[in-house]
Amino acid sequence: MTTNQDQLLFGATVTKVVSATAELGLADLLEDGPRSSAELAKILDADQRSLRRLLRALAGLGLTRQTDTDMFELTEAGGCLRSTTDDSIHALSVMLWDKASWLSWGELVTAIRTGVPGWLQAHGMFWIDYYTSHPAASAVFNKAMAQHSRAAAPGLVDAIRPERFDTILDVGGGDGTLIAELLTAQSTLQGIVFDLPSGLEDAATTLDARGVADRCRLEPGNFFDEVPKGADAYLLKQILHDWDDAAALQILRNCRTAMPPTASLLVLDRMLPELAGPNDVPTLLVDIHMLVVTGGRERTEAEFRSVLSQAGFTMTAVSDAIPPYDYRVIEAS
Cis peptide bond prior to 324, omega within 30° of 0: yes
| Dihedral (CA of 185, 202, 332, 270) sign | positive
Report the distance separating Cα 14 and Cα 6, nearest Å: 11
**Best CA proximity match to 293, nearest among 131, 113, 91, 120:** 120
Q: Please check whether residue 239 is in contact with residue 251, taking contact to mean a CB–CB distance below 8 angstroms.
A: yes
Q: Please check whether residue 236 is in contact with residue 267, taking contact to mean a CB–CB distance below 8 angstroms.
A: yes
Among this protein's residues, is 134 annotated catalytic? no
3-state secondary structure string across 247-311: HHHHHHHHHHHHCCCCCEEEEEECEECCCCCHHHHHHHHHHHHHHHHCCCCCEEHHHHHHHHHHC
Q: Please check whether residue 27 is in contact with residue 86, taking contact to mean a CB–CB distance below 8 angstroms.
A: no
Choose the catalytic residue: 90, 148, 241, 289.
241
| Dihedral (CA of 262, 263, 264, 265) sign | negative
**Best CA proximity match to 190, nearest among 154, 209, 218:** 218
Report the distance separating Cα 16 and Cα 39, nearest Å: 23
What is residue 319's DSSP assignment?
P
Q: 73 φ, ψ to 5°?
A: -130, 155
Which residues are identified as catalytic? 241
